[in-house]
Amino acid sequence: MAAVVLITACGLEWNACCDMTFSSAQANELFPKGLLCIFAFFSVVLTLAGLVYHGTLICGAGFIALAASVAGLLAIFGHVGDYRPILNAHFGTWLCVGLGAAIQHLLYRYWKTPVPEHHAMQSQWLYIIAVAVLLGTGVLEWHRYWSHQEIEDFLIDTRTLQAFLLAAAVFIVAVVSRPVCPAGLICRAAAVLVAVIGAIAAIANLDTLYYTSFRFVLNGSFAVQASVVAAIFIAAIQFRSQNRIEGLAPRWYQYFGLAGVVTLWAILSEQVFVYWHCLDQYGPGLLNWKFKAHMSLSLLWAAYGAVLLIVGFNRRIALLRYMALGLFGILLAKIFLFDMSEVKSIYRITAFLATGLTLVGVSYIYQYLRKQGFFDRLGESAPSSSIEQSR
């Protein structure tokens, strides 16, 4: 009850201060933002008081105050007057709420208690909220910065999407990296959710990411797409380390490893196709760009399958070898069903030659390893890779 009175008193005082100091428009803008900062401040105060005096209800009130401040962030769009990067009330409000959540997380995580597990869930949720709000602060400020530049709307969308993908990658790494993040299922589940969202956003927004001709692979949009893939692989490595040290179930690093392989294949395939498309649409123009795109795509799939096969043998990961063979199967189907009828003879011959040489190399490697007893030793040895071997 006392907390409610204090928050109300601070809110009324802030309202009076805004009315006396600022214009009507500025007061209408600044009052809700200041109120959210007040809620964030009292969420920390209530959490600290609850931990000191072992008051469950007081700690609950701290969570409610934080939840109110986070929910209020979604309703404080817009500003009055000239825009100043970083030095503006909107950025300050988001930063204040994010820091409030971070401080609460630290209090729960490092507060000495006879049973630390009692604070594990609160610590995880607060960590996720803090990371999400702080990264959201950066993405929204980046969006507002470009919104105030004299550029086309589609460029603003591109810059914002790039920032979102980079923030998603940072979030994934932040919630899986021990001991920075707290241990627990909630953080791992958040990593899964954001990895799915980030991968879909990276794959499904080609029109927003690519709007002019560009250098193949060496461009900003591909870099942010690749950052999501890198974050997924880092999560797989982190989960594998936690499997050895903390006994985490192996399915976590197995699924993340597979997701990274599939996502990388998807964005590389898109990069190849979109490169030729943009070169034709926004560059000097090309004759038969689709033929070149499909030829390049066939070569990429052959090379990617070969790399998967080599890594599968080197790391003794049977599933990667099966994925490579499956990719070769898809490649052959593409060549026979599409390239045979659509692609010109010279490209068709090149695609057949590359695929044939790759498959001959695969066959040779299999025969050589079989004679060397590789598969017999594989069945006797324990798995040593990020994906359980099964042959």
Q: How far apart are CA 373 and CA 189, in angstroms?
A: 41
Q: What is the mean pLDDT of residues 309-336?
A: 83
Select from 387, 254, 372 the least CA-distant residue to 317: 387
Instruction: Please state the pTM of the whole predicted model.
Output: 0.87
Q: Which of 120, 145, 170 is the last residue of a domain?
A: 145
R_g of the chain, CA atoms, integer Å: 27
Q: Is residue 191 part of a domain?
A: no
Could you tell me where the DSSP H helices lie in 214-250?
Answer: 220-246
Q: What is the mean pLDDT of residues 32-50?
A: 93
Q: Is residue 219 part of a domain?
A: no
Domain that residue 307 falls in? 287-391
Q: What angle do CA 141, 146, 148 make, to 5 degrees?
A: 100
Q: Which of 128, 145, 162 is the last residue of a domain?
A: 145
pLDDT at 368 over 80: no
For 198-213, the pLDDT digits (tens) are 999 999 998 899 988 8
For 154, what's the count of Cα atoms within 13 Å in the CB-facing half-sphere? Answer: 8
Concatenating the DSSP letter of every residue in 293-333 gives HHHHHHHHHHHHHHHHHHHHHHTT-HHHHHHHHHHHHHHHH
Report the number of distinct structural domains present in the chain: 2
Residue 182 backbone dihedrals phi, psi, to 5 degrees: -70, 150
Q: What is the mean pLDDT of residues 158-175?
A: 96
For 107-135, the pLDDT digits (tens) are 999 998 877 778 899 999 999 999 999 99
Q: How far apart are CA 168 and CA 183, in angstroms?
A: 20
pLDDT interval class at 391 (50, 70, 90):
very low
Query: Which pLDDT does position 382 carry in this prediction?
Result: 38
For 5-23, the pLDDT digits (tens) are 888 888 888 888 888 888 8
Q: How far apart are CA 64 and CA 59, in angstroms?
A: 9
Q: Is residue 165 part of a domain?
A: no
Amino acid at 190: A
Q: Is residue 17 part of a domain?
A: yes
Query: Which pLDDT does position 127 carry in this prediction?
Result: 97
Q: Is residue 155 part of a domain?
A: no
Q: How far apart are CA 162 and CA 201, in angstroms?
A: 10
In this structure, of 37-41, 43-47, 55-59, 285-289, the range with the lowest mean pLDDT score is 285-289
Q: Classify residue 33 as exposed, middle or buried by CB count within 10 Å of its CB (0-12, 13-18, 19+).
A: buried
Q: How far apart are CA 220 and CA 166, in angstroms?
A: 11
Helix (H, G, I), strand (E, B) or coil at 125: helix
Mean pLDDT value across the chain: 85
Select from 321, 350, 325, 314 the least CA-distant residue to 335: 350
Q: How far apart are CA 216 and CA 102, in angstroms?
A: 40
How many helices (H) and strands (E) in the chain? 15, 0
pLDDT interval class at 261 (50, 70, 90):
very high
Q: Is residue 364 part of a domain?
A: yes
The percentage of the chain sitting over the pLDDT mark of 70, rounded to a whole number, equals 85
pLDDT interval class at 26 (50, 70, 90):
confident
Query: Which pLDDT does position 341 carry in this prediction?
Result: 61
Amino acid at 188: R
pLDDT at 385 over 80: no
Instruction: Extract the tokens encoding 226.
Output: 């690749």
Q: Which of 145, 177, 212 is the last residue of a domain?
A: 145
Query: Which pLDDT does position 80 carry in this prediction?
Result: 52
Peptide bond before residue 179 is cis, with ω within 30 degrees of 0: yes
CA 255 to chain centre: 15
Query: Which pLDDT does position 268 carry in this prediction?
Result: 95
Select from 170, 65, 195, 183 the least CA-distant residue to 123: 183
Q: Is residue 353 part of a domain?
A: yes
Of 42-46, 243-247, 299-303, the range with the highest mean pLDDT is 42-46
Query: Which pLDDT does position 381 carry in this prediction?
Result: 43
Q: What is the mean pLDDT of residues 348-352?
A: 62
pLDDT at 259 over 70: yes
Q: What is the mean pLDDT of residues 77-86?
A: 69
Q: Is residue 178 part of a domain?
A: no
pLDDT at 52 over 80: yes
